[in-house]
Amino acid sequence: MPATDTIKRRVLARMAPKASDSTIYLQGLGNIAGKPAGDLKIGDVLSWNNAPLCSTVTKILRETAAFIWIEETSKHDGKTYERKLKKDRIVAA
């Protein structure tokens, strides 16, 4: 491996945000408390990059052993969207 790749890898590792198992790094917001998507409940408010308090979980559409499908309503435009998430994914809620 060239020396520049090693240096780049070390620099990126130092710059990476420090997070625990219960936090997620969101662009523009920093480290935010989160929980696994499998633990989402109706009424949970979700945040995504650069969008704090962006949407609300309105329905749990379907669940399997590994995935959960949710319906969320945007607080910005009032539209509803479906989202498929892996249950062990940490989401800011």
Model confidence at 93, in pLDDT bands (50, 70, 90)?
A: confident
* Domains of the chain listed by start with CATH number: 3-91 (2.30.30.30)
What whole-number distance in Å separates Cα of residue 64 and Cα of residue 57? 18
Tokens of 73: 């309503």
Verdict on whether the full-model pTM lies above 0.85: no
What whole-number distance in Å separates Cα of residue 78 and Cα of residue 41? 19
Q: How far is CA 46 from CA 3, 16, 21, 24, 54, in A?
A: 42, 23, 18, 12, 6
What whole-number distance in Å separates Cα of residue 72 and Cα of residue 39? 15
In tens, the pLDDT along 7-62 reads: 666 665 555 555 556 888 888 888 888 999 999 999 999 988 877 888 999 999 99
Amino acid 8: pLDDT: 65
